[in-house]
Amino acid sequence: MQTSYDAFTRPVPRAALAPVAVIGGGITGLTAAWQLRQHGVPVVVFEAGPAPGGVIGSVRDGGWLHETGPNTLFENSPETTALLDGLNLRDRRLVASPTASKRYVVRGGLPVALPDTPLKFFASPLLSWSAKLGLLREPFIRRAAPELDESVAAFVTRRLGPEFLDYIVNPFVAGVYAGDPGSLSVRHAFPKLHALEQQHGSMIRGSIRRRNASAGPRGSMLSFPDGLAEIPRALAGALGPALRLEHRVTFVRRSGGTWRIGFAEGGRTGEEDFSAVICALSPDALAHLNLEGVPCAGRLSALRSIPQPPVASVFLGFRRADVAHPLDGFGLLTPAVEKRRILGTLFSSTLFPGRAPEGHVALTTFVGGVRQPDLARADDAELLASVQGELAALLGVRGAPVYARIQRWPRAIAQYVVGFQQFKDACSAVEQSSPGLFLGGTCRDGVSLSHCILAGQRLASVAWQSTAARL
Ligand SMILES: Cc1cc2nc3c(=O)[nH]c(=O)nc-3n(C[C@H](O)[C@H](O)[C@H](O)COP(=O)(O)OP(=O)(O)OC[C@H]3O[C@@H](n4cnc5c(N)ncnc54)[C@H](O)[C@@H]3O)c2cc1C
């Protein structure tokens, strides 16, 4: 993929064009708008909600800092670094504590540290000896046909065996997608894993070669003193009045060479013309967008079938003395076979400073996902009791929390299921049929914050190219 920095080669005269409309003021849309503005293209961002950032939300309440959505940003690309630098956030970065490199997975009802060296791997009780020896066979297993769209479960079972799937990959998939490896596509949900097999014939061989080939650090897990919302707040500050909050787009109409956007703001409605339109929306929101005069727009209704399961994020504060576990890590994840009532828990106050008052700890627990959607819909009292019970059993938490906040996401993370190519193809067909319309974000580019930042840059780059071509 061509990066935005290769693509932006000359400034666009501001007076030359109607602005570009960006629909969606989450991290994808804000990044795209900011990037366009940096290169002289006027923009207007329409955001339906009252705050910038989409699912990103950081709430400071006395000594507690609660992330309502994502908790960490993986800074693993020059584009992400450039964005943070451009927003003057470099000096505010909080890199996750080195302690957080330790991760726990539940086995037999207890948290077991994931081994991080070959020696610890062979000594670890997390996997049986036969599963460990299975690893030695992996480099000799034939690669799958390149055109095969295989589930993550089928891929891992074929290459590493069922125990690896159950105790390593299943909990990891719960942590990233709140998803099920049986339905996610390895090609679309974990393209780097798929590429390792295709390019090197083996995940292990490929990982070793890549590690040897790439000098320098592999990326950092980040947040900020006031949480991840510092990024959208900084983007919103830079965009100023170009970001219109509480403006829900009601239609996008193509008429001649321009784009008309209809919007609702409180009780008022309005319409404005734009030179191009970027849709930076979740699959569900994109599928519901009213695109008039756009050939193939009907194909986007298929995106409604992309699962976006509910997740509840339960932030609890305890006195340090009431938690027996040392909390010396990133957190714990639960494999489905362990039949717990939570997907996992982040040790939030270990990860970053300033998340809990002195003498206290903060734990963020995720419930629901594809595995147990009904648990995410339980009422507050039931949800709290269930999470407290699990934390008591797994981390030796005693007594009631001194602080509690629940955030519910009825449609949380898009699942990149087997057959996801049809949705990407639908997006491409709509774009090709309508020059000046660009679609991206979690509907096709990946679900992590770092993917969304790249998506924002990609969208800005293609919108800039189309704008420049018309001058
Ligand atoms: C609970 C949870 C935890 C997560 N944890 C992590 C994590 O730790 N690390 C990580 O990297 N990723 C994490 N993710 C994923 C990541 O946060 C998201 O994928 C990413 O923030 C999505 O950004 P976005 O801008 O593409 O979409 P969104 O944040 O969904 O923004 C889209 C915006 O479009 C607006 N909108 C919708 N329809 C319209 C309309 N018609 N008109 C105007 N505006 C409209 C919405 O209001 C919304 O603000 C998590 C996600 C969730 C839900």
Collapsing DSSP states into helix, strand and coil, what is residue 419? coil
**Is the C-beta atom of 409 inside 6 A of ligand 1?**
yes
Rounded to an integer, what distance in angstroms lies between the CA atom of residue 55 and that of residue 67? 10
Domain co-membership, 313 together with 398: yes
Q: Which residues contact 228 (CB under 8 A, 6 or more apart)?
A: 56, 58, 67, 69, 70, 71, 72, 73, 449
Q: What string of DSSP letters covers 321-351?
A: GGB-S---SSEEE--GGG--S-SEEE-HHHH
Is residue 163 assigned to a domain?
Answer: yes
10-residue averages of pLDDT along the chain (471 residues): 48 65 98 95 97 98 97 95 96 93 95 90 90 88 92 96 96 97 97 91 85 72 97 98 98 90 95 96 97 93 96 98 97 98 98 97 98 97 97 96 98 97 97 95 97 98 83 64
Domain co-membership, 158 together with 201: yes
Residue type, 353: P
Rounded to an integer, what distance in angstroms lies between the CA atom of residue 249 and that of residue 270? 9
Domain limits for position 198: 127-213
Domain co-membership, 262 together with 135: no
Rounded to an integer, what distance in angstroms lies between the CA atom of residue 249 and that of residue 175? 32
**Is the C-beta atom of 69 inside 6 A of ligand 1?**
yes
Using CB atoms within 10 Å of the CB of residue 324, give its burial: 0 to 12 exposed, 13 to 18 middle, 19+ buried.
Answer: exposed
- Residue whose Cα lies nearest atom 6 of ligand 1: it is 70
Q: What is the pLDDT of residue 3?
A: 40
Q: What is the pLDDT of residue 209?
A: 83
Rounded to an integer, what distance in angstroms lies between the CA atom of residue 262 and that of residue 253? 8
Q: What is the pLDDT of residue 223?
A: 98
Domain co-membership, 397 together with 280: no
Which of 228, 449, 450, 459 is the best mutation target for the ligand 1 pocket, counting ligand atoms within 8 Å of the beta carbon and taking the most? Answer: 449
Nearest CA-CA partner of 54 in 68, 43, 37, 64 = 68
The CATH number that applies at residue 445 is 3.50.50.60
Domain-terminating residue out of 213, 235, 268: 213
Domain co-membership, 301 together with 236: yes
Domain-terminating residue out of 213, 234, 259: 213
Is residue 369 assigned to a domain?
Answer: yes
Domain co-membership, 302 together with 318: no
- Residue whose Cα lies nearest atom 25 of ligand 1: it is 26
Helices 230-239 and 27-38 cross at an angle (nearest 10°) of 40
The CATH number that applies at residue 356 is 3.90.660.20
Domain co-membership, 265 together with 388: no
**Is the C-beta atom of 446 inside 6 A of ligand 1?**
no
Q: Under a CB-based contact definition with an 8 Å cutoff, are residues 58 and 67 in contact? A: yes
Domain-terminating residue out of 187, 213, 239: 213
Q: How many domains does the chain have?
A: 3
Domain co-membership, 333 together with 391: yes
Domain co-membership, 357 together with 240: no
**Is the C-beta atom of 415 inside 6 A of ligand 1?**
no
Is residue 301 assigned to a domain?
Answer: yes
Is residue 284 assigned to a domain?
Answer: yes
Domain co-membership, 199 together with 137: yes
Flag whether the pTM goes above 0.85: yes
For residue 47, give both structure tokens.
Answer: 């955001």
Domain co-membership, 295 together with 422: yes
Three-state SS sequence of 199-243: HHCCHHHHHHHHHHHCCCCCCEEEECCCCCCHHHHHHHHHHHHHE
- Residue whose Cα lies nearest atom 33 of ligand 1: it is 24
The CATH number that applies at residue 139 is 1.10.3110.10
Is residue 86 assigned to a domain?
Answer: no
**Is the C-beta atom of 452 inside 6 A of ligand 1?**
yes
Nearest atom in ligand 1 to 449's CA = 11
For residue 399, give both structure tokens.
Answer: 């007594």
Domain co-membership, 152 together with 172: yes
Is residue 182 assigned to a domain?
Answer: yes
Q: What is the pLDDT of residue 122?
A: 87
**Is the C-beta atom of 57 inside 6 A of ligand 1?**
no
Residue type, 158: R
Is residue 85 assigned to a domain?
Answer: no
Quick: pLDDT tens for 239-252: 999 999 999 999 99
Rounded to an integer, what distance in angstroms lies between the CA atom of residue 116 and that of residue 370? 28
**Is the C-beta atom of 181 inside 6 A of ligand 1?**
no
